[in-house]
């Protein structure tokens, strides 16, 4: 890991930075339990970064730091800094709602709202106060096209999203996230509840999305990590054991623990 001076000022630059997310000395507790034991990490812009590791290793907790979803967990406490595009997202001044528009999230189980397909995708725009019908329609259509769902749902935009299949629901959730044009998309095991065909559709999607978005994906599926990601981070017991190019991690890992995990000897 390269060393760099910690700067507290906002780093303004018109061009996108090489690293979208920087974590410095991050520690997390849930009451007395230490879930993250000091992690430094940089996540590259417009790449797919995979977090792997056995259950309870802290990878989901770490992911949820980036959009401050852990704030709702009782007993959550954190130390250290996380910067996204140079902004310290745990500073007092940060607007959490604004942060979450920049850093979208897709969950493990598809969780569409009990509303129509259209309203699901339009939700992020509506809460920003956008009322222009034409704009909403264009944006919904564009977002659904981005996830290759448009052709399947264009005749039923007003039907309940709960009537869609699991795979369609998950793509809808991705479309919902894309509609607000985030910089980063966090995915917490997005395909673990889906069948293989839906899974491969979402993996293909990731490949296209990384041109414009920085994607961080937590996965339990080793093949998935090796297929979709550019970099892979292996977490174990709240620590970042190894973090490198995916190819390196899966062919020639530095650490014994990493090798044991990816070859299925534990975890």
Partner 1 sequence: MDQVFKYWGIFCTLLGLVLLAIFIGSILVDGVKRIDWEFITNLPSRKAENSGIYTALMGSVWVLVLTTIFALPIGIGAAIYLEEFSRKGKLSSILEVNISNLAGVPSVIYGLLGLEIFVRVMQMGSSVLAGSFTLALLILPIVIVSTREAIKAVPQSIRDASYAMGATKWQTVSMQLLPASFGGIMTGVILALSRAVGETAPLIVIGALAYVPFAPSSPMDDFSVLPIQIFNWISRPQEGFELNAAAGIIILLSITFIMNGIAVYLRNKWQKKLK
Q: Tell me the H-state helices in 55-184.
A: 59-65, 96-102, 117-126, 133-146, 150-153, 166-178
The footprint of partner 1 on residues 3-62 (CB under 8 A) is: none
Beta strands in the chain (DSSP E): 19-30, 33-44, 48-52, 76-84, 87-88, 103-106, 184-188, 214-218, 231-236, 239-245
203 vs 12: CA distance, rounded Å: 33
Binding of partner 1 by 172 (CB under 8 A):
no
Instruction: For partner 1, give the closer residue by CB, 101 or 145.
Output: 101
At what angle are helices 166-178 and 133-146 packed, to 10 degrees?
130
Binding of partner 1 by 202 (CB under 8 A):
no
Binding of partner 1 by 167 (CB under 8 A):
no
Q: Give the one residue of 83, 176, 201, 210 binding partner 1; rule: CB under 8 A.
A: 176
Binding of partner 1 by 173 (CB under 8 A):
yes
The footprint of partner 1 on residues 212-241 (CB under 8 A) is: none
Binding of partner 1 by 72 (CB under 8 A):
yes
Instruction: For partner 1, give the closer residue by CB, 186 or 249.
Output: 186
Binding of partner 1 by 159 (CB under 8 A):
no
Task: Spell out the residues 6+ positions from residue 171 whose beta carbon is closer than 8 angstroms to its own.
Answer: 147, 148, 149, 201, 202, 205
Q: Give the one residue of 23, 26, 78, 180 binding partner 1; rule: CB under 8 A.
A: 180
Binding of partner 1 by 109 (CB under 8 A):
yes
243 vs 230: CA distance, rounded Å: 11
Binding of partner 1 by 111 (CB under 8 A):
yes
Give the shortest CB-251-to-partner 1 separation in angstroms. Answer: 35
Binding of partner 1 by 99 (CB under 8 A):
yes
Strands 103-106 and 87-88: unpaired
Instruction: For partner 1, give the closer residue by CB, 98 or 137.
Output: 98
At what angle are helices 196-209 and 166-178 packed, to 10 degrees?
20
Instruction: For partner 1, give the closer residue by CB, 125 or 228.
Output: 125
Binding of partner 1 by 171 (CB under 8 A):
no
Q: Give the one residue of 25, 127, 247, 256 binding partner 1; rule: CB under 8 A.
A: 127
Instruction: For partner 1, give the closer residue by CB, 153 or 173.
Output: 173
Q: Residue 200: phi, psi to the nearest 5?
A: -70, -30
Q: Cα 228 to chain center, whole Å?
A: 13
179 vs 125: CA distance, rounded Å: 7
Helices first, then strands: H and E counts in the chain: 10, 10
Site residues, partner 1 (CB under 8 A): 67, 69, 72, 74, 97-101, 104-105, 107, 109, 111-115, 123-124, 126-128, 173, 176-177, 180
């Amino acid at each position: 890991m390269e060393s760099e001076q910690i700067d507290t000022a906002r780093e303004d630059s018109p061009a996108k930075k090489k690293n979208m997310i920087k974590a410095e000395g991050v520690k997390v507790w849930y009451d007395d339990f230490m879930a993250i034991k000091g992690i430094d990490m940089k996540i590259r812009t417009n790449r797919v970064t995979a977090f792997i590791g056995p259950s309870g290793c802290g990878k989901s907790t770490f992911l949820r730091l980036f959009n401050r979803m852990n704030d709702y967990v009782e007993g959550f406490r954190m130390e250290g800094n996380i910067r996204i595009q140079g902004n310290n997202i745990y500073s007092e001044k940060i607007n959490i709602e604004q942060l979450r528009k920049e850093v979208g999230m897709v969950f493990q189980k598809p969780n569409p709202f009990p509303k129509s397909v259209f309203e699901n995708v339009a939700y992020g725009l509506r809460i920003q106060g956008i009322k222009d019908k034409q704009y909403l329609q264009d944006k919904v259509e564009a977002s659904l096209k981005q996830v290759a769902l448009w052709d399947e749902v264009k005749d039923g935009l007003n039907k309940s999203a709960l009537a869609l299949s699991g795979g369609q629901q998950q793509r809808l959730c991705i479309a919902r996230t894309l509609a607000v044009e985030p910089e980063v998309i966090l995915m917490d095991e997005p395909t673990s509840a889906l069948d293989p065909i839906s899974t491969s559709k979402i993996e293909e999607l990731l490949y296209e999305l990384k041109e414009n978005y920085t994607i961080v994906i937590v996965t339990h599926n080793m093949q998935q990590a090796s297929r979709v990601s550019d970099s892979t981070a292996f977490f174990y017991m709240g620590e970042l054991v190894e973090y490198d190019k995916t190819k390196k991690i899966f062919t020639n890992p530095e650490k014994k623990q990493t090798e044991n995990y990816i070859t299925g000897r534990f975890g």
